[in-house]
Amino acid sequence: MKGSIRERSPGRWAIILEQRDAATGKRKRKWHSFAGTKRQAQVECARLISEMKGGTYLEPSKTTVAQFLDRWLEHMTSQVSPKSHARYGELAKKNITPLLGAVVLTQLRPALISAAYSKALNEGRRDGKGGLSPQTVTHMHRVLKQAIGQAVKWELLNRNPVDAVDPPKAARGLMQTYDLDQTAELIEAMRPTRMFVPTLLAVLCGMRRGEVAALRWKNVDLVSGQLAILESAEQVGSKVRYKTPKSGKGRTLALSASLVEELRAHRLRQAEELLKVGVRLSDSTFVVAQADGTPLQPDTLTQDWFRKLAGTALPRIRFHDLRHAHATHLLANGIHPKVASERLGHSKIGITLDLYSHVLPGMEADAAERVDAALQLAINRRTKTVG
């Protein structure tokens, strides 16, 4: 195995690597282009020879980052959910490719990636009105890191240059939700509308939007006062599929007496409404549905939520934030975080504690006062006994 360099033009070199095919004994040549001084070309030639001997050599390739991302996205079709795949595709094609797509994959370096992140933060918006948020650039970083990591697995690269780049720090925004008075106002405002039951399920059970849209009457037991969350509706474009909840497993929720009564009344109203269009309510009927019984799409639920909320004086928050309201009310009223975690369907209690840490200081102060009161009572009893 040997190598040589040949000057093509001032500062431009061809590096020729020679080795013999083990099977045929014929001599094979590998050509690399290099820009720099003669000494630098010699050093690069020596490095490539060392890689060939060590088994880490990669064939010269003109595959660009954009071309590789297309290949990677095709591979990921069977690896993630359609919704996640759509998000990966959006970040890859609309955010990463405009910045790094023309770079040859084997020439992707940490400095190029870091410069791309800076540009995205300053002028990354597609409408030309400023930069992307640190959170969006962080999502770009995660997708690029995963994609280039696959290039390493496929032996297209020796190492992942994204590992050497730190994403911008994304400050967590303040959680927006409603306090108890606002929640009561919301429930009464939504009572005359079709958003009433979805609102109750979110704010009194902590159900996610997709879980509300997928709930069927067969999973609601109004006798025992429980409902089972076994499915979640996931929408990508105009298509909706039903899958297991986000945590990967179902959960059972206890219902308050008032919610049971509201659901009984809703079931009766829904049955009467369906009979008008010749449809009989069954266990397979969706609890939250269109007037003809067809399921309500998650995106439609969101649109209805914002339309109805606009008719109130309440602050504008997302439908998902009603779930936060449920969690906050639980913790603020002394419910153990483990119970709150199970109702919310979090895979670990640490997620609950991290998300709702803003509620904990008040709980901690209350706990300290209770422990102090109990301790003082014990001290007073002991003093009286000794005296």
114-136 per-position pLDDT tens digit: 999 999 999 988 888 889 999 99
d(CA 327, CA 323): 6
Residue owning tokens 């709702």: 356
Q: In this structure, are 254 and 186 located in the same domain?
A: yes
DSSP 224-240: TTEEEE--EEEEETTEE
Q: For residue 139, give Cα distances in angstroms to 67, 88, 136, 176, 346.
A: 20, 9, 5, 22, 22
329 or 201, greater pLDDT: 201
Helix (H) or strand (E) run with residue 140 in it? helix 134-153
Enter the tokens of residue 294: 């067809």
- 94 shares its domain with 143: yes
Measured CA angle at 313 (ends 309, 315), to 5 deg: 70
CB 88 within 8 Å of CB 97: no
Alpha-carbon gap, residue 78 to 47, rounded angstroms: 38
For 361, residues 6+ apart whose C-beta sits below 8 A from its C-beta are none
Q: What are phi and psi of 146, to 5 degrees?
A: -65, -40
Report residue 302 as tokens.
Answer: 């969101």
Task: Tell me the mean pLDDT in the region 21-36.
Answer: 82
Given pLDDT bands bounded at 50, 70 and 90, which one contains residue 58? low
Task: Count other C-beta atoms under 10 Å from residue 41's C-beta.
Answer: 21
Residue 232 · residue 286 · CB < 8 Å: no
CB 288 within 8 A of CB 213: yes
**Listed residues 110, 134, 164: the one ending a domain:** 164
Please report which confidence band the pLDDT of residue 334 belongs to, taking 50, 70 and 90 as the band edges: confident
Q: Compute the distance between CA of residue 181 and CA of residue 193 in angstroms, rounded to an integer.
A: 20
| pLDDT band per the 50, 70, 90 thresholds, residue 329 | confident
Please determine, for residue 361, whether its predicted confidence score (pLDDT) is greater than 60: no
Residue 162 tokens read as 């994204």
pLDDT of residue 128: 80
Clarify whether residues 230 and 152 are in a common domain: no
Residue 341 in any domain: the answer is no
Is residue 248 within 8 A of residue 274, CB to CB? The reply is no
> Based on the domain organization, do 158 and 205 belong to the same domain?
no
User: Cβ(161)–Cβ(68) under 8 Å?
Assistant: no
The model's confidence at residue 370, banded by pLDDT at 50, 70 and 90, is low
Let me know whether 203 and 80 are in one domain: no
Calculate mean pLDDT across residues 188-214: 95
Does the pLDDT of residue 15 top 70, yes or no? yes
Instruction: Say yes or no: 196 and 259 in one domain.
Output: yes
Domain final residue pick, 316, 332, 360: 316
> Is the model's pLDDT at 55 over the cut of 90?
no
Q: Is the dihedral of CA 199, 201, 204, 208 positive or negative?
A: negative
Name the token pair of 92: 């890859």
CATH number, residue 283: 1.10.443.10
Q: What is the pLDDT of residue 37?
A: 93
CATH number for the domain harbouring residue 71: 1.10.150.130
Higher pLDDT, 298 or 52: 298
Identify the pLDDT of residue 366. 59
- Each residue's pLDDT tens digit, 250-266: 899 999 999 999 999 99
- How many CB atoms lie under 10 A from the CB of residue 188? 11
Pair (71, 104) in one structural domain: yes
Element (H, E) at 253: strand 251-254
Q: Are residues 310 and 206 part of one domain?
A: yes
Where does a domain end: 266, 291, 316?
316
User: What Rg, from alpha-carbon coordinates, does the chain have?
Assistant: 30
Asked whether residue 46 falls in the same domain as residue 72, the answer is no
Q: Do residues 44 and 125 both lie within one domain?
A: no
Kindly report the length of the chain: 387
Strand locations in the chain, DSSP E?
2-9, 12-20, 27-35, 220-221, 226-229, 232-236, 239-243, 251-254
Q: Which domain holds residue 230?
A: 180-316
Count of structural domains, the chain:
3
Asked whether residue 192 falls in the same domain as residue 279, the answer is: yes
Higher pLDDT among residues 107 and 211, named by residue: 211
For 293, phi then psi, to 5°, come to: 95, -10
Q: Look at residue 285 in the predicted model and tell me its pLDDT.
A: 96
Do 281 and 311 lie in one domain? The reply is: yes
- Give which of 126, 112, 210 is closest to 165, Cα–Cα: 112
Q: How confident is the prediction for the chain on average, in pLDDT?
A: 88
pLDDT digits (tens, 9 = 90+) for 147-191: 999 999 988 888 999 999 999 987 766 678 898 899 999 999 999
Question: DSSP 3-state assignment of 2?
Answer: strand
| pLDDT value for 305 | 97
